[in-house]
Amino acid sequence: MSNKYIGKAVTRHDAHDKAMGRIKYTDDMCDKGALVIRVLHSTVANGIVKSIDTSEAEKVPGVVRIFTCFDIKEKHYYPTAGHPWSTDPSHQDIADRLIMTDRPLFYGDDIGAVVAEDEVAASQALRILEKSVEYEELPFVLDAQEAMKEGAPQLHEKYPNNVLAHTEIHMGSVEEAIKEPGLTKVEGWYETQPVQHCHIENFICYAYGEGGRTVVVTSTQIPHIVRRVIGQALGMDWGKFRVIKPYVGGGFGNKQDVLYEPLCAWISIQLGGRLVKLDVPREETFISNRIRHAIRYHITSWMRPDGSFAARTIKAWCNNGAYSSHGHAIAAKGLNAFPQLYPCDNIDGETWTVYTNRSVAGAMRGYGMPQASYAFECHAEDCARAMKMDPLEFRRKNLMPVGYYHAFSKNELYSDTFNQCFDKGAEIIGYYDKVEKYKNQTGDIRRGIAVSTFWYNTAVYPIALETSSCRIVMNQDGSVQFQLGETEIGQGADTAAAQMIAEELSIPVDMVHPVSCQDTDITPFGTGVYASRGTYTLGFSVRQTALLLKEKVLEAAHQFTRMPVYNLDLVDGKIVRTTDGRELMTIGELALSKLYTTDGSQHLTAESTYQIKSNAYSFGCCFAEVEVDIPMCRVRLLNIVNVHDCGQVINPILASGQVHGGMSMGIGYALSEKLMWDEKTGRPLNNNLLDYKLSSFMDHPRLNAAFVENYEPTSAYGTKGLGEPPACPVAPAIRNAIGAATGVYINELPLSPHTLFREFTDAGLINDPWRNEQGKESK
Amino acid sequence: MYDIKALYEAESVQDAIRLLQEHPEAQILAGGSDVLVQIREGRRAGVELVSIYMLDELRGVSIDEEENIRIGSLTSFSHITKDPIIQKYINVLGEAVDMVGGPQIRAIGTIGGNTCNGVTSADSASTLMAWDAIIELTGPEGVRRVPIKDFYIKAKVVDIRPAEIQTAILIPKESYDRCFGHYIKYSMRNALDIATTGCSVNVRLSDDKKTFERVRIGYGVAAPIPCRAYTAEAFLNGKEINDENIKKFAETVLEDINPRDSWRAGKALRQHISVVMAERALRESIRLAGGVVNE
Amino acid sequence: MSKQYKVVHCTINGKEVEQIVDVRASLTDMLRNDFRLTSVKKGCEVGECGACTVIIDGEGFNSCIYLAVWAEGKEIWTLEGLTGPGGELSDIQQAFIDEGAIQCGFCTPGFIMTSWEIVNSGKEYSDDELRKLLSGHLCRCTGYENIFRAVKKTMLRHLGKFEEAEKVNSQGIADYPEPMPFM
């Protein structure tokens, strides 16, 4: 199939306006007369709000109203995850949140709100209010395994020992398999840290009353889900709300949760529909939105002398923070991946998702797989070393083989993806030469190179509903607008969809106009963007709808050309008679004629829903080359390459951009990012962009993105997931490269100077004569 | 919008002093990269401010009649780095302040603000300590000069009397003449960061480049205020340039520094890095001074 | 104390203006609210992310930690000012589009302003220098890769080095012959 638009580096539709600075994000659209909401957050990590004295704060000039958790008369607990709703209660997300609570479960929980005429008045009142809260403080717990112990503080009544969920997998018999003689046992603990999304546009929303309903404009990935959840949170009919999504300054999964939209809508309603804006400051974004789960893994493998796996076990403890958000889905994804990435006949696995008194963990680019990839790929490296095998050859030998079929998801590995990606990446970075070159180094500064891979699938079938809807409306000149439930949040979904429609209708891509800003009153239903599903899922509804429209266009063409539909086609914007290739009329002439004809006038439009019942593996790898300054405990990333098989690349420049962004997030995850809490108070320590070390321009080398394009047979356009996978393999590749350089393989993230200092000291690489054996200073 | 109770804009140094006398509660606002952030945090919310930011008379670098390098207190980091006098005589200061935050912070941040806030992590402070800078303060009683080691009193407290403002930082000729130095900033990322520890070394070598005539070493975040490692300096002054002496010097800094444990970094890491930095900064200073280390 | 206001005179995007401002306002507040120059973005409000960067008298500043009253007498440029009277884009804006340096677009205005200052400096910077000059901006979408390429290419074109600019490609494996101790 030769494509005109698919696979081409089409400029994203909004690039020009963004380069001019005239794109409107949520705050840019809000009238500056809006009242300002600031949220009153708990300053205890676990407790009961006994009282809030609002009298002093109310005296601050400019304060309009103060709401507290005691103003909630009916408690409507609601779920926040951006998952499709299920009409089956057993598949619904846990409803454990209130818009304000008198039972704060983490430092930063929402216990009240100030509404004021301006931000200064709001912040003045907030500071007074913070001192006017009387708490009964309760003991708190920050660690997942600690939280599971008898006697630990209990967060939610229905979940004894704070276990939100516990699942197991068993294949074959580990007990029997390990009796095989000659096995080598490799065992490790792997610890990942909590991090935050850090989209540069903080979460923001505003609400106002109109026509007896409440309109909420919000920076979200999931407008239709937001509408449903506002209804649930306020105990009102869902149709009472209209949710509008303008351009979004990044989401990365944080905006795949319902955040403050229900509170904002509720306050507007309390004030008779006045315009209220809730703009979350960066410091609060870190602690009162969502974060990435910290997951602790324990993996054991029993290896045969030939380097194959005889048996494997895995245990994982997933720190979910104080509320369920996405619940067990994140931990389960990692557990589900374990037997697939490195198949083995005998596997035991179990995982716990555990409530703790920390900020709430939710979706974040990779959805549990950056954590799992770290554990899996550290462990794979450790296994290869134990067996004295080249780590790359070890992976080639043990990874999921071509033809692998997964019965539950019905996923199949159709191509030799792993080897193709390895070969391509190894060539770009010069892997084999560098492995040789970096052998037997001594001295303070050493280099290393290594690889890692990951497991990913594209969408959420069969775990949850997969549905996509599309509407395409043709204008008088034959150009079209289209709307989708899959949201544009910066990743380029609209442009990819426009390329598909242009391809299908055979019209120039600049005649295909995305309606980028979604509105639940207008946009066809869709659940939003997450799970790297956008391009895959929207592809089905886009193609189906474009074909419907094409059918209507050709039927209309029959009226004006007298030719039978089966002898007509759309080619390069023309109605063409296929029997001789003659161009009969342009699409513009056709559209104009059909709309204004006095004989059966019709506006040409199509709309349809496609329910997706397939999923697709999306694999790749990362090669990292580092230089380690041992005395300085610092890592310099010299070169990095990610190779992905995301099926057919719809748009190479946008696809590369996705890979770069994921790699960048992976670099920060590997080397510097970590959210911290004070063990004594449960207070967050580094919830700002100075103390939270998001990697800067100077911490990045050139980022290399490469693709292996194996057309995905289940997909409408041969595509599969790409948004999240690039973030997954980076941290373990860097860890393995540091290990290759120094011999020190570190099982904890981030690989910051703090970690490196401890590990290099333990390994004897740092041996200060002035420090005594206990590691204490000399004086 | 900042929670500022009142803003008084000074039109001259004398006007600033008058405003500070009239409004004894008011705090001085220079570039604002610390003060405004603290107002937003709430730590300084509701303050009265005397803004001296528009006082161009406090900007610029010159050599005064006594041959001191005179740096106006409001000179921004970016302008210090670009200044030819700085580049010629004390390039290390230009390099050090070129590591503050990012470029936009270096455009607004002033060297006066960096010292007056009294924080130990200030990137200019260790170098100014190591070059025995003199702080010039102007107040109702006139001008006084304070050696920088006396200017820092304790964490976040400096010797500024009521209604005084810092008007310049001076580097005496004795201090910069034939001196070459290097600053290492140790932080968790390569930009937009504060120092975990910073170390500034400078040397004056003998004419034959074989001996240390004078070595000075200043630290940030090795104590509650910027400090010197005088014991290490005393050890090395007059000694031959060789590997052994350099290593001994580096270890000796531990006699003088006292970094603390915090969630930002452990004491042991800071001590270790301080020693490594001392050695590396010294070696680089020797190289810049034209010396060679005998193995 | 009652609210305090001041009249500020300055040049914004080439046009002389005067504006009454609340003395508590930041320059970001003034540009966004009084002039509706909404390319000036709020990402952190403490000078860490660079999204609010504007050029003041030829130098990039975080307008969030710059008082509006300090704009007195200054020449200020925001992204809106880079577009010509007929809507023509400057070459650096076009390069951001062409190189795929824009994703969500929220950091873009600040980045373009700093880049504009760089490419108009008439200097040729090394790769490391470019990274340092651009390091006052955080971006979570692009990994800075395509931004780097857009700026480098435009810098070279400004210096008349068109062939070199075309050689700045999308793959970058670097070779470092010597160890690079952290100094």
User: If you average pLDDT over every residue of chain B, what do you get?
Assistant: 97
Structural domain boundaries of chain A? 15-21+467-611, 31-138+203-279, 294-460+615-762
Exposure on the CB side of residue A711, measured as CA atoms within 13 A: 7
Q: What is the pLDDT of residue A531?
A: 86
A530-543 residue pLDDT tens: 988 999 999 999 99
All structural domains of chain C, each given as residue ranges with its CATH number in brackets, are: 5-82 (3.10.20.30), 91-167 (1.10.150.120)
Using a CB–CB cutoff of 8 Å, tell me whether A220 touches chain C: no
Cα separation of A715 and A678, whole Å? Answer: 48
Helix extents (H) in A651-767: 652-671, 730-742, 753-762
Q: Please say whether the beta carbons of A628 and A744 come within 8 A.
A: no
Please choose, from the candidates A228, A289, A222, the residue with its C-alpha nearest in 3D space to the C-alpha of residue A76. A228
Q: Would you list the DSSP string of A305-363?
A: TTS-EEEEEEEEEEEEESS-TTTTHHHHHHHHHHHHHS--S-EEEEEEEEE-SSPPB--
Confidence of residue A779 (pLDDT cuts 50, 70, 90): very low
Chain B nearest-CA distance from C113, in A, is 11
Helix extents (H) in A629-779: 652-671, 730-742, 753-762
Confidence of residue C2 (pLDDT cuts 50, 70, 90): low
Pick the CATH number of A294-460+615-762 from 3.40.980.10, 3.30.365.10, 3.40.50.300, 3.90.120.10: 3.30.365.10
- Strand-pair partners of B27: B49
| The amino acid at B34 | D
Lowest mean pLDDT among A103-112, A705-714, B109-118, C168-177: C168-177
Residue contact C131–A698, C-beta within 8 A: yes
| Strands across the sheet containing C75-77 | C15-22, C5-12, C75-77, C53-56, C59-62
For residue A560, give Cα distances in angstroms to A191, A476, A549, A591, A597.
68, 15, 17, 11, 10
Please choose, from the candidates A188, A197, A196, the residue with its C-alpha nearest in 3D space to the C-alpha of residue A296. A188
Residue contact B193–A690, C-beta within 8 A: yes
Provide the greatest CA pair distance for chain A. Answer: 99
Cα separation of A444 and A454, whole Å? Answer: 32
CA end-to-end distance (rounded Å), chain B: 60
Residue contact A123–B45, C-beta within 8 A: yes
Q: Please say whether the beta carbons of A252 and A217 come within 8 A.
A: no
R_g over Cα of chain B? 19
Peptide bond into A514 cis (omega under 30): no
Which of B7, B79, B104 to mutate to probe the C interface, most C CBs <10 Å?
Answer: B104
Q: Please say whether the beta carbons of A159 and A322 come within 8 A.
A: no
- Phi, psi angles (nearest 5°) of residue A266: -60, -45
With contacts defined as CB-CB under 8 Å, which chain B residues touch C22? 1
Confidence of residue A772 (pLDDT cuts 50, 70, 90): low
Helix extents (H) in A531-680: 534-561, 587-596, 652-671
Residue contact C4–B53, C-beta within 8 A: no
Residue contact C136–B36, C-beta within 8 A: no
Q: Would you list the DSSP string of A410-432?
A: TEE--S-HHHHHHHHHHHHHTHH
For residue A526, give Cα distances in angstroms to A129, A214, A486, A605.
40, 20, 6, 19
Confidence of residue A1 (pLDDT cuts 50, 70, 90): low
Q: Under DSSP, is residue A103 helix (H, G, I), strand (E, B) or coil? A: coil
| The amino acid at A331 | A
Q: List the 137-156 stretch of B: residues with Cβ below 8 A of A.
A: none
Chain B nearest-CA distance from C133, in A, is 6
B256-290 residue pLDDT tens: 999 999 999 999 999 999 999 999 999 999 999 99
> Strands A405-406, B47-51: parallel, antiparallel or unpaired by DSSP?
unpaired
Neighbours of B21 (CB within 10 A): 13
pLDDT at C86 over 80: yes
Residue contact A690–B192, C-beta within 8 A: yes
Give the number of A-C residue pairs with CB atoms closer than 8 Å. Answer: 201
> Strands A309-321, A347-355: parallel, antiparallel or unpaired by DSSP?
parallel
Cα separation of A675 and A694, whole Å? Answer: 11
Q: Could you identify the residue written with the tokens 């106006």?
A: B72
Over residues A34-50, the mean pLDDT reads: 98
Burial B181-205 (b: 16+ CB within 10 A, else e): bbbbbbbbbbbbbbbbbbbbbbbbb
Q: Please say whether the beta carbons of A442 and A561 come within 8 A.
A: no
DSSP state of A475: -
Exposure on the CB side of residue A572, measured as CA atoms within 13 A: 6
pLDDT at A775 over 90: no
All structural domains of chain B, each given as residue ranges with its CATH number in brackets, are: 4-51 (3.30.43.10), 60-173 (3.30.465.10), 180-288 (3.30.390.50)
Equal fold, A15-21+467-611 vs A294-460+615-762: yes
Confidence of residue A776 (pLDDT cuts 50, 70, 90): very low
Kindly report the pTM of this predicted structure.
Answer: 0.97
Among A24, A629, A638, whose Cβ lies nearest the Cβ of C174?
Answer: A638
Cα separation of A605 and A483, whole Å? Answer: 12
Using a CB–CB cutoff of 8 Å, tell me whether A771 touches chain B: yes
Give the residue from chain B lying closest to C49, CA to CA: B192
With contacts defined as CB-CB under 8 Å, which chain C residues touch A15? 96-97, 102
Over residues B198-210, the mean pLDDT reads: 97
Q: Under DSSP, is residue A584 helix (H, G, I), strand (E, B) or coil? A: strand
Over residues C122-146, the mean pLDDT reads: 98
Over residues A152-157, the mean pLDDT reads: 97
pLDDT at A399 over 70: yes
- pLDDT over 90 for what percent of chain B? 99
Among A685, A689, A770, whose Cβ lies nearest the Cβ of B254?
Answer: A770
Over residues A571-590, the mean pLDDT reads: 98
Cα separation of A579 and A564, whole Å? Answer: 11
CA end-to-end distance (rounded Å), chain A: 75
Please choose, from the candidates A717, A552, A586, the residue with its C-alpha nearest in 3D space to the C-alpha of residue A7. A717
Q: Please say whether the beta carbons of A209 and A35 come within 8 A.
A: no
Cα separation of B100 and B78, whole Å? Answer: 10
Cα separation of A451 and A624, whole Å? Answer: 6
Cα separation of A714 and A694, whole Å? Answer: 38
CATH topology (fold) of A15-21+467-611: Aldehyde Oxidoreductase; domain 4 (3.30.365)
Over residues B188-211, the mean pLDDT reads: 97
Please choose, from the candidates A734, A733, A704, the residue with its C-alpha nearest in 3D space to the C-alpha of residue A635. A734
Q: Which two tokens stand for residue A676?
A: 């911290």
| The amino acid at B238 | G
C168-177 residue pLDDT tens: 987 789 999 9
**What element of type H or E holds A177?**
helix A174-177
Q: Please say whether the beta carbons of C80 and C167 come within 8 A.
A: no
Cα separation of A449 and B195, whole Å? Answer: 29
A228-257 residue pLDDT tens: 999 999 999 999 999 999 999 999 999 999
Residue contact B108–C50, C-beta within 8 A: no
pLDDT at C1 over 80: no
With contacts defined as CB-CB under 8 Å, which chain B residues touch A691? 264
pLDDT at A774 over 80: no
The neighbours of chain A, by the rule of 3 or more Cβ pairs under 8 Å, are B, C
- Strand-pair partners of A135: A49
Which CATH number describes the domain made up of A31-138+203-279? Answer: 3.90.1170.50
Q: Under DSSP, is residue A614 helix (H, G, I), strand (E, B) or coil? A: coil
Burial A639-653 (b: 16+ CB within 10 A, else e): bbbbbbbbbbbbbbb
Over residues A297-308, the mean pLDDT reads: 98
Neighbours of A89 (CB within 10 A): 6
Helix extents (H) in A571-644: 587-596
Q: What is the pLDDT of residue B295?
A: 65
Cα separation of A618 and A417, whole Å? Answer: 9
Please choose, from the candidates A641, A109, A107, the residue with its C-alpha nearest in 3D space to the C-alpha of residue A422. A641
Question: What is the 3-class SS of chain B, one letter each residue?
Answer: CCCEEEEEECCCHHHHHHHHHHCCCCEEECCCCCHHHHHHHCCCCCEEEEECCCCHHHCCEEECCCCCEEEECCCEHHHHHHCHHHHHHCHHHHHHHCCCCCHHHHHHCEHHHHHHCCCCCCHHHHHHHHCCCEEEEEECCEEEEEEHHHHEEECCEECCCCCCEEEEEEECHHHHCCCEEEEEEECCCCCCCCCCEEEEEEEEECCCCCEEEEEEEEEECCCCCCEECHHHHHHHCCCECEHHHHHHHHHHHHHCCCCCCECCECHHHHHHHHHHHHHHHHHHHHHHCCCCCEC
Number of helical H runs and strand E runs in chain A: 20, 28
Q: Please say whether the beta carbons of A741 and A438 come within 8 A.
A: yes
Q: Is the ipTM of this complex over 0.90?
A: yes
Which of C2, C4, C24 to mutate to probe the B interface, most B CBs <10 Å?
Answer: C24
Please choose, from the candidates B293, B283, B106, the residue with its C-alpha nearest in 3D space to the C-alpha of residue B203. B283
Cα separation of A259 and B230, whole Å? Answer: 55
Contacts of A148 by beta carbon, 8 Å cutoff, 6+ apart: A161, A162, A163, A317, A352, A354
User: If you average pLDDT over every residue of chain A, what do you get?
Assistant: 97
Q: List the 689-718 stretch of A: residues with Cβ below 8 A of B.
A: 689-691, 693-699
